[in-house]
């Protein structure tokens, strides 16, 4: 029974590795590595909530056609309040 358990363990490990590699490849194909723009989060005014500013790098019609998009997020909190 010892070699059968080892064979089963090796087959399971190979299956996990192959599954992870295939999953990563499919994820990269379905999720664009390119972001669609920049989401600026302005937290410089502590008395008020954060302000969100969106800068698109593609036409808005292209963004509107997708269910999901990715943005780079930049947090801005260094503006002086004096």
Tens-digit pLDDT profile for residues 15-67: 999 999 988 887 766 555 678 899 999 888 777 888 899 999 888 988 888 88
Residue 32, pLDDT score: 55
Residues 41, 23 share a domain:
no
Question: Domain span at residue 44?
Answer: 34-82
* 24 and 52 fall within a common domain: no
What is the DSSP-derived secondary structure letter of residue 27?
H
Whether residues 25 and 60 fall in one domain: no
Given a contact cutoff of 8 angstroms between Cβ atoms, the answer to whether 80 and 47 are in contact is no
Q: What pTM, to 2 d.p., does this model score?
A: 0.53
Does 73 have pLDDT greater than 80? yes
Q: Are residues 46 and 75 in the same domain?
A: yes
Q: How confident is the model at residue 10 (pLDDT cuts 50, 70, 90)?
A: very high
Question: Does 26 lie in the same domain as 45?
Answer: no
Distance in angstroms (rounded) separating the CA atoms of residues 27 and 31: 6
Taken as a whole, the chain contains a residue count of: 82
């Amino acid at each position: 029974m010892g070699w059968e358990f080892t064979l089963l363990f090796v087959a399971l490990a190979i299956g996990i590795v192959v599954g992870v590699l295939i999953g990563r490849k499919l994820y990269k194909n379905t999720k664009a590595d390119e972001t669609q723009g920049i989401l600026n989060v302005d937290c410089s005014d502590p008395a008020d909530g954060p302000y969100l500013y969106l800068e698109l790098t593609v036409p808005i019609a292209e963004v509107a056609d997708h269910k999901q998009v990715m943005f780079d997020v930049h947090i801005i909190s260094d503006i002086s309040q004096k």
